[in-house]
Chain A
Amino acid sequence: MLYCSTTSIHPSILKTLTPHHNQLNPSKSKPSKSLRQEITTRIKCFNSRIQKKSEPRDYYEVLGVSTDSTSQQIKEAYRRLQKQHHPDIAGDRGHEYTLLLNEAYSALMREDFRRKYGGGGGGGGGGGKRREGFGSNFSGMGYSSWNGPVRPQALFVDENRCIGCRECAHNASETFMMDEDLGCARVRVQFGDSEKKIEVSVDSCPMNCIHWVESEELPLLEFLIRPQPKEAHGVFGGGWERPADVFAAAKYLQKQLKQQQEQKQSPTGQAHAEVETPAQAEARYQAGLKLQWRQFHEMWGWITGLLGRETS
């Protein structure tokens, strides 16, 4: 360090510290800026020079985060991946990948810094389109209302199987109703009639499509059984759809929602500590490939050098 062991004898090392650092800081940002540009353009070592310039998008992929993720998410992803691939843990084979991680992280944090302080903002931020999964507009509210207190069990009509016989609505008219448009029965009020009436109506269903379900699952099932508008592509598609097996769909959606919630609750993201996204796997593979390539390259250089010497 400049103030500890320079060759020049400087009795006033103490004095030099302050002015030096003050001098150092603005200058640090100045030449490094040009260098930084150089680094991003020629970022890879010569062995991979042919590779085109790294896009911000690639950096996001390396860390396995979406382009609209916050700096907190980037940090978490970085730490998680470091913990798997750092040479201290993964051995020497983690070297190349960790290099990539460090590079991506510093670039993204820089970008984040810029975005935060109102600089460019165009650097890949906000462009990410979050894929809307099935059930993304699920509100958590059920369709049916409750007559009296909420009980652990609730009634649910699998409308896919209902043939519209009206038996249930006839036997327990306060509980069930008919959806004339779709031609099937539906629960309007849970326990709207006496238990006996309900029992009769459940038994009377020729398709056995009236189910006792857990009250917790009810809102999800009722949401899923409502036909959702289908995405249209010109004349194709469009219309309405609902899952063929509503119970399986509910189970799946439940799991997804739970995961989302967990992610929200645990900012360390430990729930997915072991998962590697395909992009990460790809990046890692590429990093490995680069390493092999370098060896080949060195070999090639050596051979050409040898040949050159022989011919001359």
Chain B
Amino acid sequence: MAEQFYTVASDSETTGEDKAQTPLPNLAIGIDIGTSKCSVAVWNGTQVELLRNTRNQKLMRSYVMFKDDLPSGGVSEETAHDEKDILSGSAIFNMKRLIGRMDTDQVVHASKTLPFLIQTLDIGVRPFIAALVNNVWRATTPEEVLAIFLLELKGMAEMHLKCPIRNAVLTIPVSFSRFQHTRIERACAMAGLHVLRLMPEPTSVALLYAQQQQQLLHENMGSGCEKVALIFNMGAGYCDVAVTATAGGVSQIKALLGCPVGGEDILQNVLRHLLPNLDSFCADHSIEKIKSMGLLRIATQDAIHKLSRGQNVHINVDLADGTKVSRTLDQPEFEKVNEMVFEQCENLIKQCLLDAKLTAEDINDVILVGGCSNIPRIRSLVLGLCKKEEPYKDIEPLEAAVHGAALEGAIALGISDPSGSLDLLTIQATPLSLGIRADGDTFVPIIHRNTAIPARKEVVFTTSQDNQTEALIAVYEGEGMSVVENHLLGFFKVTGIPPASKGTAEISVCMDIDAANVLRVLAGVLMPGGKRALPPFIEVRMPTLDHGHGWCGQALVKLYGTALDLATIPKKMQR
């Protein structure tokens, strides 16, 4: 890959010699890469400080403009691109919705109405993404776009802090698969950043909440007992829910759940409502169409924002080809159009409470964060489900996640604060179950979701065929009962099983997740009675797969059938 392109230009410009000699400072920045807006924060020794760009913005629009030879994210430029430029087809945005997704993914398909080019062939590979440069569609990848953007953020932070930066904590949506994690890590590596932690957004908010509770305790205003908070985070791309129990600066994540639904979906729903033939309108990607789509998008976005405060809004856009959108959108209509989105949010919260084994009465605080938390219907829905009158007030909805990420960065680097405001800890939980394929196509979870991290579990399986000497360990992530519903993370073969009738050999599969959320799978044969020495176990860091995972599973089945299958050990045989 073209990694050498991504050297930090600012490094050599400003006092480069001094930097080469001084060791890297013990510093980590927190980055919140939002679908629409990004922010960077750092622990400055006494508190978390949000960094501002040259235009004095804390929240920066996330996009990369491919106008000239050098693509730019407009982070540190004097004049920003306005929304019209961004929607001209030359800029790529919504990277977070696209990164690590296959062209069969529903979210990718929904993104096809965006002004830049997204081509899908629906075979389970990376979609083709291109930006318009001098009337030519130039291909790129979400990772590359994200890397360019991160590089600019990094440059901005380095300018502020006047030292090179290596470590970063990034916030990610809960619903990201491990494969998507690797894509984020890849983008960070391209930008010269070392990922210290990938933190699910609501857990980073939970850490901030824990700090605030701890401070209240120091000021003798709070009680020392456990506080339970439900965090609802809905941004432009994703919706996440988490339940955290906080006491003594320790935030224990009880349950977390997320799905890729957000402001973008709401926008698309409204767009479709206004322009029923949206998909065919966007299909040809001619420059005129893109332009008029851009206008409609801006107007609709504006209308949705206005609906957060008012009861109705008028939309008036003249599309180039004679079509004209001119109508009034009122609150009930808006809510009806997005009924599905709200329903989905509701289900997430209900399920999350169920997972945490808590009821609405157990919740002390409801924390609403993210851009969509301003939508009246969402507010009333979340508060209603938690039986609360008011949400928690002391958290800034758009800055909470990055705040928590910066805190986590400082904690993970072992920075201590004499005043005790870093005396914090998040006990993370796994958002998705991890398991292997056994008993045919059944997904057998080994580490269940919402297990505290670090976690390690071992399960013993057996062979499914007589005289089977090899077994395939196919590791999946997800909640589906069958493996085809879940994500294949990787696979490897355990060999040297002593030939015996089926169901006698013991194959141990152990999964280990460390505090940095790295998954290792260890597998090997157990010898009955321990008479003979064990053949070496195999340890694999997951995920090992690149995209196209849908194929691998099918290809394996096609080639080997059931010859390498595993079976679970029946309950009665277990001691």
- State which of A35, A46, A76, A95 has its C-beta within 8 Å of the C-beta of B510: A46
> Is B226 a contact of A75 with CB atoms below 8 Å?
yes
Cβ-defined contact, B347 with A18, below 8 A: yes
Give the residues in chain A near B522, CB-CB below 8 Å: 45-46
Across the interface, name the chain A residue whose C-beta is closest to B533.
A304
Note all chain A residues with C-beta closer than 8 A to B30.
none
Contact yes or no, B479 A1, CB < 8 A: yes
A45 touches B452 (CB 8 A): no
B503 CB within 8 Å of chain A = no
Among B404-430, those with CB < 8 Å from A are 408, 411-412, 414, 423, 425-427
Determine the distance from Cα of A44 to Cα of B510 in the docked complex, in whole angstroms. Answer: 9
Complex: A106 Cα to B431 Cα, angstroms:
17
Whether the Cβ atoms of B510 and A45 lie closer than 8 Å is yes
Can you list, as one digit per residue, whether each of B89-110 has a CB less than 8 Å from chain A (1) or not (0)?
0000000000001101111010
Establish whether residues A8 and B454, one from each chain, have CB atoms under 8 Å apart when the complex forms: no
Most-contacted residue by chain A among B354, B427, B486, B575 (CB, 10 A): B427
> Which of chain B's residues 442-464 have a Cβ closer than 8 Å to chain A?
444-446, 448, 451-460
Contact of A102 among B106, B177, B455 (CB under 8 A): B455
| Chain B CB within 8 A of A120 CB | no
User: Which residues in B have their C-beta under 8 angstroms from that of A21?
Assistant: 347, 351
> Which segment of A85-93, A186-194, A205-213 sits at the interface?
A85-93
Min C-beta distance of A284 to chain B, whole Å: 15
Q: Could you tell me the distance between the alpha carbons of A49 and B534 in the complex, rounded to whole angstroms?
A: 12
Contact A1/B106 with A6-B480, A35-B459, A83-B250 known, Cβ cut-off 8 Å: no
- Chain A residues touching B, majority SS: helix
Stretch at the interface among A171-179, A220-228, A244-252, A264-272: A264-272
Count chain A CB atoms within 10 A of each CB in B425, B535, B536 and give the residue with the most.
Answer: B536
Question: B412 near A88 (CB under 8 angstroms)?
Answer: yes
B134 within 8 A of A: no
Instruction: Answer whether A1 and B177 are a contact pair too, CB < 8 Å, given A6-B480, A86-B515.
Output: yes
Report the bound CA distance from A301 to B22 in whole Å.
43
**Contact partners of B341 in chain A: CB under 8 A:** 14
- Comparing B252-260, B279-287, B385-393, the segment that makes contact with chain A is B252-260
Whole-angstrom distance between the Cβ of B459 and the nearest chain A Cβ: 6
Contact of B512 among A7, A25, A45, A302 (CB under 8 A): A45
Chain A residues lying within 8 Å of B177, measured Cβ to Cβ, are: 1, 4-5
- Residue in A closest to B248 when the chains form the complex, CB atoms: A268
- B71 CB within 8 Å of chain A: no
Nearest-CB residue, chain A, relative to B102 = A7
**Chain A residue with minimal CB distance to B238?**
A4
Contact B533 A86 (CB under 8 A): no
Interface residues of A in 68-126 (CB under 8 A from B): 75-76, 79-80, 82-83, 86-89, 91-92, 94-95, 98-99, 102-103, 105-106, 113
Question: Which residues on B sit within 8 Å (CB–CB) of A300?
Answer: 533
A41 touches B575 (CB 8 A): yes
Are A95 and B343 neighbours in the complex by a CB distance under 8 Å? no
Q: Which of B248, B458, B526 contacts A80 (CB 8 A)?
A: B248
Q: Which residues of chain A from 1 to 27 have any CB-CB distance to chain B below 8 Å in the complex?
A: 1-11, 13-14, 17-18, 20-21, 23-25, 27
The 4 A-B pairs with the shortest beta carbon distances in the complex, nearest first, are A87-B515, A301-B536, A7-B550, A268-B224
Given A5-B177, A6-B480: 18 more A-B contacts, CB < 8 Å: A1-B177, A4-B175, A5-B180, A5-B487, A7-B484, A18-B343, A32-B445, A34-B571, A34-B574, A42-B459, A43-B458, A49-B508, A49-B526, A95-B514, A99-B454, A267-B224, A301-B536, A302-B536
Interface residues of A (CB under 8 A from B): 1-11, 13-14, 17-18, 20-21, 23-25, 27-28, 31-32, 34-35, 37-39, 41-46, 49-50, 75-76, 79-80, 82-83, 86-89, 91-92, 94-95, 98-99, 102-103, 105-106, 113, 266-268, 270, 298, 300-302, 304-305
- 6 A-B pairs with C-beta separation under 8 A: A7-B104, A45-B508, A45-B510, A86-B515, A88-B408, A270-B248
